Amino acid sequence: MGFVTVNTCAEFLGFLAALIFLFKDKDPAWRLFIPYMLLTCIVETCGIYLRLVAHVSNFQLYNVFLLFECAMVSYTFFNLYKPYGQRKKWLIIWLCCFAAMYVTEFAIYHFKGFVSVTAAVMSVVFVLASLYFYYLKLNAENFEPLQFSASFWWVSGSLFFYFGSTACNIFFDYLSSSNVAVYLGYSVRYYIYYILDVILYAFWSYAFICRYIQRRSSSL
């Protein structure tokens, strides 16, 4: 399969969508998805290279990327919360807690393993953040058609991905065992993450399109 996988294709299409539809966006939180999606593509490609070509572990690469993922997704949630009067202190508190967990787990593993517990906690927090956004949206006075709501589709993609990631983390041992392999020797967990990636970047890409439509409509 090499470097062309379901993950790399989904991520590259997400990057193209961000580049095309967010290039002239005036909101930095949305425009930051262009370099973030590019970084995602680079990390995924480098991860495949390390694993298949160099035959070395790539967990350190994904440990570093987790910092960017947490920062980007957290900042986007904060940006979506701002119209509802949410304060920056909660973002700072969460990022400080994440940093403390990250460093602690890294030290426990003596810098020789993936910070899986920190990643699992992050997934749970983002699931809760998604549900809280829905709560705010339902109680908002201003009505917005959901089919063209960039924020709704971005949060929906995040909810699917991080809820699925949380479920995979809970049943990690079972889903990774050879007893539940379904195709070409790969476990169910392997294919679940492929599906989650496709859902995430499909929803995000549509959110970028909706953001573009909203920006064009407001300028008319």
Tokens 């970047």 belong to 201
Q: Is the pLDDT of residue 131 over 90?
A: yes
pLDDT confidence of residue 143:
75
Q: pLDDT tens-digit profile of 54-72?
A: 888 888 999 999 999 999 9
Token pair of 216 as six digits: 């064009």
pLDDT confidence of residue 126:
97
189 Cβ neighbours under 8 A, 6+ residues apart: 168, 172, 175, 176
Which of the pair, 138 or 142, is modelled with greater confidence?
138
Which of the pair, 169 or 212, is modelled with greater confidence?
212
Residue 186 phi, psi (nearest 5): -95, 145
Domain that holds residue 76: 60-219
pLDDT confidence of residue 179:
52
Q: Is the pLDDT of residue 190 over 60?
A: yes
- Pick the closest to residue 10 from 207, 154, 157, 205 (CA basis): 205
Token pair of 174 as six digits: 């079972």
65-69, 100-104, 162-166, 174-178, range with the lowest pLDDT = 174-178
Q: Is residue 41 part of a domain?
A: no
How many residues are listed for the chain in this entry?
Answer: 220
DSSP-assigned beta bridge partners for residue 186: 183
Q: How many domains does the chain have?
A: 1
Q: pLDDT tens-digit profile of 120-130?
A: 999 999 999 99
pLDDT confidence of residue 168:
80
**Whole-structure pTM value:** 0.91
Q: pLDDT tens-digit profile of 21-56?
A: 999 999 999 999 999 999 999 999 999 999 889 888
Q: Is residue 98 part of a domain?
A: yes
Q: Is residue 2 part of a domain?
A: no
| Average pLDDT, integer, range 89-102 | 95
Token pair of 43 as six digits: 């990390």
The DSSP output letter for 27 is -
Distance CA 209, CA 164 (A): 24
Q: Is residue 15 part of a domain?
A: no
Averaged pLDDT score across all residues of the chain? 88
Q: Is residue 21 part of a domain?
A: no
pLDDT confidence of residue 81:
92
Tokens 């989904």 belong to 10
20: Cα within 13 Å, side-chain hemisphere: 13
**Cα dihedral sign, 66-159-44-205:** negative
Q: Is residue 209 part of a domain?
A: yes
Q: Is residue 201 part of a domain?
A: yes
Distance CA 103, CA 2 (A): 33
Q: Is residue 52 part of a domain?
A: no
Which of the pair, 160 or 165, is modelled with greater confidence?
160
Token pair of 36 as six digits: 């973030």
